[in-house]
């Protein structure tokens, strides 16, 4: 073995010793990724996923209000006298069966419509299914605590941050890292709560608002995005647009 080979091996051994020391220092095990769903978070993430599924079966506030309005309009029409229902002029007096049938069909259709819409509105008051409010609150709290600890550990160890986080918050500013840490924590929590796995986009794609879950998530998405915009403004950087 040549002297150069020996020197190379010694350098590699030195690197391995440093890696082993770092591993022992943090408890003898590799640190999980900032947004990795490990055993310590599995129950909390599962609880929120069940809650999200229940939310997807609910109407948004705008949808519920539109239904209420439609029910009210149809009920108003049905409460009118026969001669005034749905644009009728003279009622059914002296009309042939062929002429009466379309008018009754429109009334029956309206009654079925109002019954169906009323059932949807009544369903809003029935239990949502899935985890209760206390379980959801506990799951969110658990995720928040773990996310904060992971971020603190990564910063203390000088670990490189993932692309999706640095693209959102940049590097740690000095002398006041508090706004940066707060924004970074919120990004991690959002990813864990909503199952975002995009390697580049910190919050993933913009949520749809077709159901109650999508509408609420879109609000959270907007809130975190606005916080990132403020963070970049503090650093004198162009506004970060999500």
Question: Within a domain: residue 77?
Answer: yes
pLDDT surpasses 90 at 130: no
Spatial CB neighbours of 162, under 8 Å, sequence gap ≥ 6: 33, 34, 35, 199
Whether 10 is in a domain gets the answer no
Same domain, 91 and 114: yes
Indicate whether 168 belongs to any domain: yes
Say if CB 242 and CB 203 are below 8 A apart: yes
Is 3 inside a domain boundary?
no
Kindly tell me if the per-residue pLDDT of 14 is higher than 90. Answer: no
Domain end: 124, 149, 169, which one?
124
Give the list of residues 6+ apart from residue 5 with CB closer than 8 angstroms, or none: none
- State what percent of residues in the chain have pLDDT above 70: 57
Mean of pLDDT values over 10-36: 68
Q: Are residues 140 and 180 in the same domain?
A: yes
Domains contained in the chain, number: 2
DSSP annotation string for the chain: --HHHHHHHHHHHHHHHHHHHHHHHTTSSPPPPTT---HHHHHHHHHHHHHHHHHHTS--HHHHHHHHHHHHHHHHHHHS-GGGGGG-SSTTTT--HHHHHHHHHHHHHHHHHHHHHHHHHHHHTS---SS-HHHHHHHHHHHHHHHHHHHHHHHHHTPPPPHHHHHHH-SPPSS--HHHHHHHHHHHHHHHHHT---SS-TT-SPPP-SSHHHHHHHHHHHHHHHHHHHHHHHTTPPP---
Give the structural domain span for 65.
Answer: 61-124
**143 lies in the same domain as 226:** yes
- Domain assignment of residue 242, yes or no: no
Are 156 and 111 part of one and the same domain?
no
The per-residue pLDDT of the chain, averaged, comes to 76
Q: Which of 50-59, 129-138, 146-155, 198-207 has the lowest mean pLDDT?
A: 50-59
pLDDT one-digit tens code per residue, 154-198: 988 888 899 999 989 988 877 788 999 999 999 999 999 999 999
Among 101, 124, 147, identify where a domain stops. 124
For residues 199 and 92, state if they share a domain. Answer: no
188 occurs within a structural domain: yes
- Residue 16 belongs to a domain: no
pLDDT at 127: 42
């Amino acid at each position: 073995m040549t002297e150069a080979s020996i020197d190379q091996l010694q350098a590699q051994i030195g690197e391995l010793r440093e890696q082993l020391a770092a591993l022992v220092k943090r408890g003898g095990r590799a640190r999980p990724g900032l947004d990795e769903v490990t055993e310590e978070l599995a129950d909390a993430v599962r609880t929120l996923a069940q809650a999200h599924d229940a939310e997807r079966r609910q109407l948004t506030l705008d949808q519920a209000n539109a239904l209420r309005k439609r029910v009210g309009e149809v009920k108003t029409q049905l409460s009118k006298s026969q001669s005034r229902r749905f644009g009728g002029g003279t009622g059914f007096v002296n009309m042939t069966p062929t002429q009466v049938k379309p008018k009754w069909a429109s009334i029956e259709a309206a009654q079925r419509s109002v019954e169906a819409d009323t059932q949807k509105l009544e369903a809003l008051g029935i239990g949502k299914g899935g985890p209760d409010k206390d379980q959801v609150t506990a799951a969110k709290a658990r995720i928040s605590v773990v996310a904060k600890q992971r971020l603190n550990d990564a910063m203390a160890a000088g670990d490189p941050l993932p692309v999706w986080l640095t693209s959102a918050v940049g590097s740690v500013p000095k002398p006041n890292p508090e706004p940066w840490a707060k924004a970074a924590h919120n990004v991690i929590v959002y990813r864990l709560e909503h199952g975002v796995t995009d390697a580049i986009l910190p919050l993933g794609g913009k949520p749809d608002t077709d159901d109650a879950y999508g509408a609420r998530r879109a609000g959270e998405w907007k809130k975190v995005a606005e916080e990132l915009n403020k963070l970049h403004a503090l650093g004198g950087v162009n506004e970060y647009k999500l």
